[in-house]
Homo-oligomer: A and B are copies of this chain.
């Protein structure tokens, strides 16, 4: 039976938002993080993080924060992905020889390109990662230690990535309660373009379009619970989703094209009055959606082992 990873004597979290803050809280709660240094742009957010016990020490990006890196066991970069090249460039000369670096960016090919360009000798100790968790809330005040429980965390190591570094990062995410999986970075970016980035784009686009209309007030007055769920992700961070959309633009635009073709197909069925074809699309969607939900629920709540049951 594994006893889990060595506790981190020092963890540096760059970007103490929902993800970075929740990672720190989960490791602290499990007794696996000693001193946690939070690094960020906004002083108010870092102050809140410290007050809430998410971090022990705060450093702003406009100060000498890189002095914290030499003796860090782990650095988690959990900032919007557009900031990565500058962050990696600033970090590279200061990382300790044993410091492992990982990240929480929602796109991976662009992150890897930035790491290759900037991390130099530290590249083998960089483990690209993506925790598949989040809410529409952001900032350190939104963080909570159980955010990653039963969630997937995808790691996309390079051929030159140190396997000990991968194992360390994987075991820390497991301490947070996550299921760790490995994917090729290109496959990762294709998959998330389809199941995450496109839905966010559609939700943002719909709400923006409705809000801009002259009859917006009437529209929102009668919008109900179906609309609420469909558009929940349109309340997500504009900056984060701008960066994701730009970073993964090739895969995302391919998904937009595919979706547009599907929308044309379905609209043609409606225009032609072909209710049979339309119902077949809807029925196929319902079947797939229900099967997915059932599998997801079964994974979250495994059935009890066989045994006597009350009738």
* A 4-36 to B, binary, CB cutoff 8 A, 1 in contact else 0: 000000000000000000000000000000000
- In the complex, chain B residues whose CB is within 8 Å of the CB of A243: 275
- CB-based nearest B residue for A201: B266
Least CB distance, A279 to chain B, in whole angstroms: 4
Asked if residues A258 and B209 are in contact (CB atoms below 8 Å), the reply is yes
Asked if residues A270 and B288 are in contact (CB atoms below 8 Å), the reply is no
The answer to whether A285 and B208 touch (CB under 8 A), given A195-B223, A223-B195, A242-B278, is yes
- Is the CB of A229 closer than 8 A to any CB of chain B? yes
How many angstroms from the CA of A226 to the CA of B194 in the assembled complex? 12
- In the complex, chain B residues whose CB is within 8 Å of the CB of A221: 152
Least CB distance, A267 to chain B, in whole angstroms: 5
- In the complex, chain B residues whose CB is within 8 Å of the CB of A285: 203-208, 211, 234, 238
Q: Of B134, B226, B237, which contacts A134 at CB under 8 A?
A: B226
Least CB distance, A230 to chain B, in whole angstroms: 4
- CB-based nearest B residue for A235: B289
The answer to whether A241 and B282 touch (CB under 8 A), given A196-B227, A222-B152, A288-B220, is yes
- In the complex, chain B residues whose CB is within 8 Å of the CB of A256: 263, 267, 270
B-contacting 9-mer, from A49-57, A157-165, A244-252: A244-252
How many angstroms from the CA of A183 to the CA of B227 in the assembled complex? 20
Q: Of B134, B202, B271, which contacts A206 at CB under 8 A?
A: B202
Asked if residues B232 and A283 are in contact (CB atoms below 8 Å), the reply is no
How many angstroms from the CA of A260 to the CA of B238 in the assembled complex? 21
The answer to whether A263 and B230 touch (CB under 8 A), given A195-B210, A283-B238, is no
Asked if residues B286 and A205 are in contact (CB atoms below 8 Å), the reply is no
- Is the CB of A187 closer than 8 A to any CB of chain B? yes
Asked if residues A293 and B152 are in contact (CB atoms below 8 Å), the reply is no
Most buried by B among A215, A242, A271: A242
Asked if residues B222 and A286 are in contact (CB atoms below 8 Å), the reply is no
A-B pairs with beta carbons under 8 Å apart, 12 shown: A151-B224, A152-B221, A152-B224, A195-B223, A196-B226, A202-B206, A204-B281, A205-B281, A208-B281, A209-B262, A211-B287, A235-B286
The 8 closest A-B pairs by CB, nearest first: A211-B288, A238-B282, A207-B285, A195-B223, A238-B283, A242-B279, A208-B285, A209-B262
